[in-house]
Structure 1
Amino acid sequence: MPSAADLARGAPVVVRARRPADLSTLVQVLRDVHGAVGYPSVWPDDPAAFVAGPGGETAEAWVAERAGQVVGQVLLAPLPDPHPDWAVRADLPAGTLEVKRLFVYPGAQRSGAARALLTHVLREVQARDVGAALQVNEHSAPAVRLYERGGWRFRTRTRAAWTDPDGTHPWVRVYTSPGT
């Protein structure tokens, strides 16, 4: 990956559809994110499948590029049926999509990459006339700030389905997109 100095030279962030060839780079980006901020809290047995998300390589996903380098991604997926507990507790409207696997290379954080990915997702859901929801570990203060500054609305707090390394289920905050 490029150095933080290389990525900070003012190159704009470009969001585009993810391609199958991006997955290996995204696994490395995720490894760097995991090492820096602990996301995901437990390293997946199959990191490529984790990055690919629901539906594998055909999942609806976009990447952020800066200075020609893939520096992050976001996925948009239908909620599973039946809806998970957090979605039921948030009383989400029919058709709500879930924002998943949003992460940005540590050297590109604070460059606008995460905001650009979220803006793209918002345009997608608005064009489809649906809403979006996401869940975030409440201890991830930078992510919580990002969502709240972007107008995402806090809906509920609940225990995550996944576990932290100590085996506990962390508390997550559930947000819905502006207007949902």
Structure 2
Amino acid sequence: MHETDGYPAVWPESPAGWLTPAKMVDARIAEADGVVVGQVGIGESMLPAAVRDDVPDVALISVIRLFVAPSSRKRGVGRRLLDAAAEMAEQRGCRAVLDVEIGGVAAISLYERAGWKRVHSGLANWTMPDGRVAFLHYYLSP
């Protein structure tokens, strides 16, 4: 994922820790022939106040990990993982929200096809490997 898509933008010091951060409260994986080919997790994260302002009166929980191995794309895996994120959020009385760097064109297309709605866009509090500040779109589950 990192080599093909630049996700995560900066390779973590602890890949296992990145996959299972303490803030994650629930997760699902996708498997093909006994091999993990994708993951989605939800948890608490610091959303910009503008996102919360744009979605008043809605309890939010963040999608904090979402990926599908390149070899398993175009098979509905990403869509099933998005649906799982929305379901996990709903079980907690919340709506799921995720962010995506604007260069993630394929991911953005997937989110919009799945009915997720862009609710905010803005600068991130981190930089891309090339030194520019990341610009993010925030999407809300259906």
Q: Aligned-pair distance for 1:161? A: 1.8
Could you tell which deviates more after superposition, 120-129 or 155-164?
A: 120-129
Cα distance in 1 between the residues matched to 2:53 and 2:123: 11
Cα distance in 1 between the residues matched to 2:138 and 2:44: 16
Aligned to 1:5: none
1:53 paired with 2:21, answer yes
Per-residue Cα deviation, 1:82-124 (whole angstroms, up to 9, x for no partner): x434534544545311011101111111121111111112222
User: Secondary structure of 2:127's partner?
Assistant: coil
Answer yes or no: is the 8 Å Cα contact 1:53–1:101 preserved in 2: no
Per-residue Cα deviation, 1:25-78 (whole angstroms, up to 9, x for no partner): xxxxxxxx00111111111122221111234xx741111111221111011112
Answer yes or no: is the 8 Å Cα contact 2:89–2:95 preserved in 1: yes
User: Secondary structure of 1:122's partner?
Assistant: helix
Runs of 4+ in 1 over 3 A off after TM superposition: 83-94
Answer yes or no: is the 8 Å Cα contact 1:137–1:171 preserved in 2: yes
User: Secondary structure of 1:102's partner?
Assistant: strand
C-alpha root-mean-square deviation of aligned residues, in Å?
1.9
1:43 paired with 2:11, answer yes
Structure 2 residue runs without a partner (length 5+): none
1:176 paired with 2:140, answer yes
C-alpha change, 1:144 and 1:131, in structure 2 (3 Å) is same
Aligned to 1:11: none
Aligned to 2:41: 75
What is the correspondence of 1:1-180 to structure 2 with a 5 Å cutoff? 33-55=1-23, 59-80=25-46, 83-85=47-49, 87-88=51-52, 90-178=54-142
Answer yes or no: is the 8 Å Cα contact 1:86–1:174 preserved in 2: no
The TM-score normalised by the length of structure 2 is 0.89
Structure 1 residue runs without a partner (length 5+): 1-32
Structure 1 or 2: more strand by fraction: 2
C-alpha change, 1:163 and 1:110, in structure 2 (3 Å) is same
